[in-house]
Amino acid sequence: MTELPEDRVWARHRRRTGSVLIVGAGAVGGFLAEELARIGFSPLRLIDPDTLEVENLVRHPLGAGALGRPKAPALAEKIRRDFPPCDSTGLRADFLALPADRQRMLVGDADVVVAATDSAACQRHVNRVALSVGRPAVYPALWVDPRIRDAEVGEILWVLPGRRTPCYECAAAFRRAASDTEAARGARVDIQLVSLVTAHVVAALAHPGDDVSAILDRGRTAIYLHGFTPTSVGVRPVFPTSGLSSRSVRVPFPVRPCAACRGWRYVATSEASVADEAGERGRVERPRPGRPSAVVFAALLLITMVLFIVAVAEGSHT
Amino acid sequence: MAAGEKRRDSEAAPSPETEGAMVGTAPETLQHAEPTREEARDSERSWFLDTDTGELKPDEPDQRSGRDPQSGPRAVRVSRWTFD
């Protein structure tokens, strides 16, 4: 069956349209793609260089029948078969290895970009491309840490271009020295929560005028999720009550200009600086946006006046 | 879990020596089913990400509320590694 009556497909859910590029078709990206298809997004473009292995089966939407197949094309085929209204395609490739113009084209063709990889380098590069092309982007991930259980905490960063929000590099600067890690642990039942919330974030970014966009607070662009599991001691201050919960956290612009988005705490867009100021209220006093330029202007004016006076004085002596 | 069950969680914070331990091996701990007053207050607390240290910290300083800042929640280190 390839043709389904549209009015019946969407009879119980208002379709939200748009195109999405998903870099990384692993556990998080895979379930995300399936959810976005059913929300109504089309086309979906998936990119992943890996093949499906036995160790992936416990948490991946693809089943044993796809073992040994490249994840992205296999998943795209599954989505097309299971949900024909979605035009999904999969590319077996490493996004980092693609030519720059191809990267920009893929990102530019999307309304929203999702980077769901296990490579910090890839996440940072997707961030730079999305910023340069001007596309909103989302960065879902799960924590790997000896303090907590597998997939106990999920993390979703979302970014608006044009320094309207801090970018991925602003938020993940402390991970620059960390080693890349391969997708390792966590059960499907816990990982899917992150995919589901990410799908909501993507829908909100793709439809800023829709009521769904109310879930996003531009002043708090990092979302941390705690799954329906006992809370480990190391994260209990943030998640004081047991079970399923989430925190939307403020991410400040860096003190020095970000290498990726050039945003920084003292010279940012008016909206971002207002959001940042609201969070900084009551903390250590810092210059308001615009004050450094006023000081510089005053200094230049003073120097100009001094030079003028000196020139006039010299002229009167000649 | 029964409401009257005692809390058996360890108050010892994880040490840096656990960095090399196997991931996902956090000890089983139990919590009360109903949040305490402090837990309820903490659940309403706002946080920010200190991107220099990689820690989640309370957003509103306790000096403004008149509370001793030493009694507030400690910073929570964000995981250095993530995966998909």
Give me the domain span that covers residue A312.
290-318
In a domain, B74, yes or no: no
- Report if residue B55 sits inside a domain: yes
- Classify residue A27 as exposed, middle or buried by CB count within 10 Å of its CB (0-12, 13-18, 19+): buried
The total number of structural domains that make up chain B:
1
pLDDT confidence band for A285 (50 / 70 / 90): very low
Is A314 found in the same domain as A185? no
- A283 found inside a domain: no
Position A277 scores a pLDDT of 46
Cβ A184–B18 below 8 Å, yes or no? no
| A310 shares its domain with A251 | no
Task: Tell me the CATH number at A172.
Answer: 3.40.50.720
pLDDT of residue B70: 58
Distances (CA, A) of A233 to A162, A208, A229, A240, A288: 38, 37, 12, 9, 38
| Residues A308 and A204 placed together within one structural domain of the fold | no
**pLDDT for position B84:** 73
Domain match, A11 and A100 both: yes
Q: How many CB atoms lie within 10 A of CB A82?
A: 12
A233 pLDDT higher than 80: yes
Residues 166-225 of A with CB under 8 A from B: 170-175, 178-179, 181-186, 220, 222, 224
Sequence-distant (6+) residues with CB within 8 A of A6 are A85
Q: What is the mean pLDDT of chain A?
A: 88
Are A271 and A301 in a shared domain?
A: no
**In the predicted model, what is the mean pLDDT of residues B53-82?**
75
Is the predicted pLDDT of residue A200 greater than 90, yes or no?
Answer: yes
| A153 and A238 co-located in one domain | yes
Is pLDDT above 50 for A22? yes
Chain B contact for A94, CB < 8 A? no
Q: What is the pLDDT of residues A136-183, one digit of tens each?
A: 999 999 998 888 888 899 999 999 999 999 999 999 988 876 655 555
B16 touches A: beta carbon within 8 Å? no
Average pLDDT rounded to a whole number, residues B42-71: 75
Would residue B53 count as lying in a domain?
yes
Q: Give residues 277 to 296 of A whose Cβ lies within 8 Å of B.
A: 279, 282-283
pLDDT at A27: 93
pLDDT tens digit sequence for A269-278: 544 444 444 4
- B chain contacts of residue A242, beta-carbon cutoff 8 Å: 31, 33
**In what order do the strands lie in the sheet containing B76-77?**
B47-50, B55-58, B76-77
Q: Are residues A54 and A86 in the same domain?
A: yes
- What stretch of H or E contains B42? helix B37-43
**Is the CB of B5 inside 8 Å of chain A's CB atoms?**
no
- Name the B residues in 28-67 with CB < 8 Å from any A CB: 28-31, 33, 35, 38-40, 42-43, 46-49, 51-54, 56, 59-61, 63-64
**pTM of the model as a whole:** 0.78
A255, A313: one domain: no
Number of domains in chain A: 2
Predicted pLDDT of residue B17? 47
The three state secondary structure string of A224-292 is: EEECCCCCCHHHCCCCCCCCCEEEEEECCCCCCCCCCCCCECCECCHHHHHHHHHHHCCCCCCCCCCHH
- On whether residue B46 sits in a domain, the answer given is yes
Instruction: Classify residue A298: in a domain, yes or no.
Output: yes
Report chain A residues whose CB lies below 8 A from the CB of B54. Answer: 174-175
Task: Evaluate if residue A53 carries a pLDDT over 90.
Answer: yes
- pLDDT for res B20: 52
Contact B19 A146 (CB under 8 A): yes
The residue that leads in pLDDT, B83 or A128, is: A128
